[in-house]
Structure 1
Amino acid sequence: MSRLILLRHGESEWNARNLFTGRADVALTPRGERQSRDAGELLRALGLAPDAAHCSRLRRAWHTCALTMDAAGRGTAPVAAVRALEERDYGSLQGRDREAVLREVGAAEFRRIRRSADARPPGGESLADVSARLLPYWHTRIAPQLTAGATVLVVGHSNSLRALAAHLDALSPTELLGLELPSGIPLLHELDPALRPRRRGGRYLRPAAEADAERPLRAGAE
């Protein structure tokens, strides 16, 4: 059985300020660094230390990956930092306050921009665009490691990991609208030989996150 661990980077400086981050290369906060170490210690304690890791090139992701792998006792394992796993380009929204944008466009449009597959901010990417650059890397680099039986860690961003989760779980548009991935909490997918999840939606490795892991697949709520 192959094991895939998805991990959204720890809290970043712009997460803490509630700004659209996108491709901005911002650092982790001290809390984000703690989240990353905690994730690695948890993986080690559960016998899930990764054999290999893949991460975004943006520093909030590769720093999370480095701290997590080191805390898991896998500081010398192979790690690939790649463009394919980078965050969605939010275009003209990058750097803007989320609450201000919400007031400006209204709740329905705000949700569509953030969570649908096809909404593309001016000068930015849609989630479908993110999928188009991510899935070839999945098929050629990550999937072969899983097929060989490795435990693989993928450290990315809200939208790059949403794109991957949507592919793994074949999410409907309604389910995709509700899918949220919390920062710093490992999400375990146990995969069959065809790399299909044994449990749709995976399993968060923190009990407090279990309800959030189930909710998007049930109701698709924001």
Structure 2
Amino acid sequence: MPLFVIVRHGQSQWNAENRFTGNTDTPLTDLGRQEARAAGVLLNAHQPLNFSIGFTSVLQRAIETMTLILEEIDQTDLPIERSAALNERMYGDLQGMNKAEAEVRFGAEQIFCWRRSYTERPPHGETLEETRTRVVAYFQSTILPHLQADESVLVVAHGNSLRALLMDIEHISPEDIEKVELATGTPRQYHYDLETGEFQLLPK
């Protein structure tokens, strides 16, 4: 069965500063680079790897994370496709704002709703539902055919774009996705069943 691996990029500069990042193109921190390399080491430790293709967003923190992972697994010649469809969710007026300061201004309950809810929209931003629409459309049209062709695939993207994808491949409800958090630099691995089209989550 082909292997499907998703990884949230390593810590970014605005992650470290506790700021809403959204689709702002912020770089990795030194810790983020360490996390990316550690993800590659972890992948190598579990099983022989032979990815056929990789996918990232067009944001530098995802691109650099992919590069560092590929260095660790000795697949630096892997073909990579980049798409804005995998970009982080747009947080609108919140982007660049310190999260603690935002809680003081808008209230902790409202900030939680904007961050975790499926349908709540930050001011001038994007809902998780809208993020899911673009991510899943790209996944089904561009990524899934590689898995169906028995090719292993590596995707490096962002917390919310990957949460949106998880709703489909793990059949997570809009209510339950509020509780799902993906750590930076931590691979999530699946086998794709060619007969059933289902994804089997592998142990960490």
Q: TM-score, normalised to structure 1's length?
A: 0.86
* Deviation of the 1:203 alpha carbon: 4.2
| Structure 2 partner of 1:43 | 43
C-alpha separation in 2, matches of 1:160 and 1:100: 25
| Structure 2 partner of 1:217 | none
Is the Cα–Cα contact under 8 Å of residues 44 and 73 in structure 1 kept in the other structure? Answer: no
Is residue 191 of structure 1 aligned with residue 192 of structure 2? yes
C-alpha separation in 2, matches of 1:86 and 1:118: 18
C-alpha separation in 2, matches of 1:122 and 1:137: 25
* Deviation of the 1:39 alpha carbon: 1.1
Task: Kindly provide the CA deviation profile for residues 158-205 of structure 1, in whole angstroms up to 9, marking residues without a partner as x.
Answer: 10000000111121222111010000010012222233122xxx3463
With a CA cutoff of 8 Å and minimum separation of 6, indicate the structure with the bigger relative contact order. Answer: 2
Unaligned runs of 5+ residues in structure 1 are 206-222
| Structure 2 partner of 1:94 | 95
> Could you tell which deviates more after superposition, 59-68 or 147-156?
147-156
| Structure 1 partner of 2:146 | 145
- Aligned residues with identical type, % of pairs: 37
| Structure 1 partner of 2:128 | 127
Distance change (3 Å), C-alpha of 1:204 and 1:6: farther
C-alpha separation in 2, matches of 1:19 and 1:6: 24
C-alpha separation in 2, matches of 1:153 and 1:172: 24
C-alpha separation in 2, matches of 1:102 and 1:145: 43
| Structure 2 partner of 1:163 | 164
Is the Cα–Cα contact under 8 Å of residues 22 and 94 in structure 1 kept in the other structure? Answer: yes
| Structure 2 partner of 1:30 | 30
C-alpha separation in 2, matches of 1:129 and 1:147: 26
Is the Cα–Cα contact under 8 Å of residues 87 and 158 in structure 2 kept in the other structure? Answer: yes
Count of matched residue positions in the alignment of Structure 1 and Structure 2: 202
* Deviation of the 1:49 alpha carbon: 4.6
Unaligned runs of 5+ residues in structure 2 are none
> Could you tell which deviates more after superposition, 108-117 or 93-102?
108-117
Task: Kindly provide the CA deviation profile for residues 96-132 of structure 1, in whole angstroms up to 9, marking residues without a partner as x.
Answer: 0111122333333222111111111121111111112
**What aligned pairs does 1:82-121 form with structure 2 within 5 A after superposition?**
82-121=83-122
C-alpha separation in 1, matches of 2:203 and 2:24: 27
Is the Cα–Cα contact under 8 Å of residues 49 and 73 in structure 1 kept in the other structure? Answer: no
C-alpha separation in 1, matches of 2:203 and 2:50: 15
Instruction: For 2:45, give the aligned amino acid.
Output: A
